[in-house]
Amino acid sequence: MLEDRLALFPVTTAVQEDGQIAVAGLSLQALAETHGTPLYIFDAATLKTHLASYRQTLAAHYPGPSAITYAGKAFLCLAMAQWVEHQGLWLDCTGTSELYLAEQAALARRRTLVHGVNKSPADLQAALQRAAVIVVDNLLELERLAALVASAAPGSSLPALWLRLRPGLAVDTHAYAQTARSDSKFGLSPDETLQAVRFCLAQALPLEGLHFHLGSQYRDPAPLATALQVTLDLAAACQDETGWHPAVLSPGGGWGVPYHEDDLPQPSIAAYVALVAQTLAQGCQQRNLPLPRLQLEPGRSLVAQAGVAVYRLGAVKHTPQRRWLLLDGGIADNPRPALYHTRYTALPVQDPLRPPSGPAWLAGPYCQSGDVLIEDLPMPQVQPGELIALPVSGAYHLALGSNYNGALRPAVLCWQAAAPTSSSAAKQPATCWPATSAFPKCNGINSLHRAAVRYNHPYDVSIPSFAPLLYHHPPAPRAVGGQCPGPAPGPG
């Protein structure tokens, strides 16, 4: 059972000879000592593994062109946007701030896509200047865009438009993660989509594609096949009526991941992508539609397993029914258990496979009874001061986090494992990612300290302070044991 728990961690995870969990060849204990807790570690090898599954399956099963957009809403920071650029992926940005971040990461405009359910005038303006694609959510937004396009300087290059369809279908997931039911706040109904196509053609707007996103964290891809049929019926109707057909079709993202050992095995990315690719190819053939570019939009299934959250246990409390393990992070860095009742799991960093002594409730330090990360989890005896690691922490934790109770944003480290060379791998330092050589445009991000993305400002990032915070980490104001540590040293 505990080995299964370990399997939820990043692909480079190992238990070292000294009994400590290591990721990318680095001991979590050592990283926590240097950078403090809560601490988030991202493993580049895990990202690479999941991205390879997407790419290989698309290449094997889709006869037309394809592309992958990373859904930045899952987790976005400068290093992540640089990784997206380095991999040649598209980036989905929501709003002006994320577009600014993409620009700071030197993300190519031709792979920048903008989503948003109620884009502000500033969001629309920024998207027009910076994006390659705007995904239109509603008819009023389309009218606003048409007005902005009409007043744009002659010769300005305009983003292509995709229409976000609401196919009226539900995937099997938490109600808060469903996004395509007929009464959802997202997107256009099929009738509205047809109206939008007519409007775009009448106004000579650069309409390029159709998009839908059924929801998030589902494991049964069957509703996707139905949604593709609905979308292709609509595309065929458009073609019959207007001659227009989509050059791009994006069925969004949403593929699920296991958070708990009981959720294993990992849902297969390959099976999901193959189903989408084959359904789309056959559906187009049946309706005499040219094959569109198939553009997938994964977030969680790329990044969730890559992330580990490391907490320090502050106190153990026994109540009549429960053993409470009180950690130094919780709802402020991971609100998902409170929002979605996600069932997480955890291991002590030292000797993770020691046998459980009974159930434990792992809670954070914040003033909410709902600040509980994990309920009723078999755990060994653990002592105050020990480190506890939560796997599958890479998606929708920090992105949804807050400064509740004045909580500071945890440090985030992204690691590229050193090339594994048998037994020396654990001792060889991993390189902090991104390395300067791989990201020549990011001068200065060349040491552990600078590449470590620290959200250590007590209040949320605003555009003027975003880049400086990421580039020049000010001394961390977080008090650890009554002291305020300065910036972390480089790797030596």
Ligand X SMILES: Cc1ncc(COP(=O)(O)O)c(C=O)c1O
Catalytic residues: 367
Tokens 């990721």, residue located:
23
Number of amino acids touching ligand X (CB under 6 A): 18
Residue 216 as a binder of ligand X (CB under 6 A): the answer is yes
Q: Note the helical H segments in 260-311.
A: 269-286, 300-303
Tokens 């050992």, residue located:
261
The C-alpha R_g of the chain, in whole angstroms, comes to: 23
If the CB atoms of residues 234 and 302 are measured against ligand X, the closer one turns out to be: 302
Least separation in angstroms between CB 300 and ligand X: 4
Which range binds ligand X by CB under 6 A, 100-108, 140-148, 262-270, 294-302?
Answer: 294-302
Rounded-to-integer distance, Cα 454 and Cα 414, Å: 11
Residue 297 as a binder of ligand X (CB under 6 A): the answer is yes
How many angstroms separate the Cα of 76 from the Cα of each of 91, 197, 354, 450? 10, 32, 35, 17
Closest residue to ligand X, judged by C-beta, is 299
If the CB atoms of residues 92 and 371 are measured against ligand X, the closer one turns out to be: 92
Residue 208 as a binder of ligand X (CB under 6 A): the answer is no
SS3 at position 362:
strand
Structure tokens at 290: 């040219």
If the CB atoms of residues 57 and 216 are measured against ligand X, the closer one turns out to be: 216
Binding mask 97-126 for ligand X (x = CB under 6 A): ------------------x-----------
Residue 213 as a binder of ligand X (CB under 6 A): the answer is yes
Binding mask 54-73 for ligand X (x = CB under 6 A): -----------------x-x
Least separation in angstroms between CB 321 and ligand X: 35
Which range binds ligand X by CB under 6 A, 12-20, 154-162, 213-221, 319-327?
Answer: 213-221
Rounded-to-integer distance, Cα 379 and Cα 391, Å: 15
State the angle between helix axes of 463-471 and 78-87 in degrees (0 to 180), rounded to the nearest 10: 80
If the CB atoms of residues 161 and 417 are measured against ligand X, the closer one turns out to be: 161
Structure tokens at 303: 């990044």
Neighbours of 440 (CB within 10 A): 8
Neighbours of 364 (CB within 10 A): 27
If the CB atoms of residues 263 and 297 are measured against ligand X, the closer one turns out to be: 297
Of 301, 345, 350, 431, which lies in the binding site for ligand X, with binding defined by CB under 6 A?
301
If the CB atoms of residues 93 and 107 are measured against ligand X, the closer one turns out to be: 93
Pairing between strand 411-416 and 431-432?
A: antiparallel
Rounded-to-integer distance, Cα 64 and Cα 48, Å: 23
Provide the binding-site residues for ligand X, judged by CB under 6 A.
Answer: 71, 73-74, 115, 179, 213, 216-217, 252-255, 297-301, 395
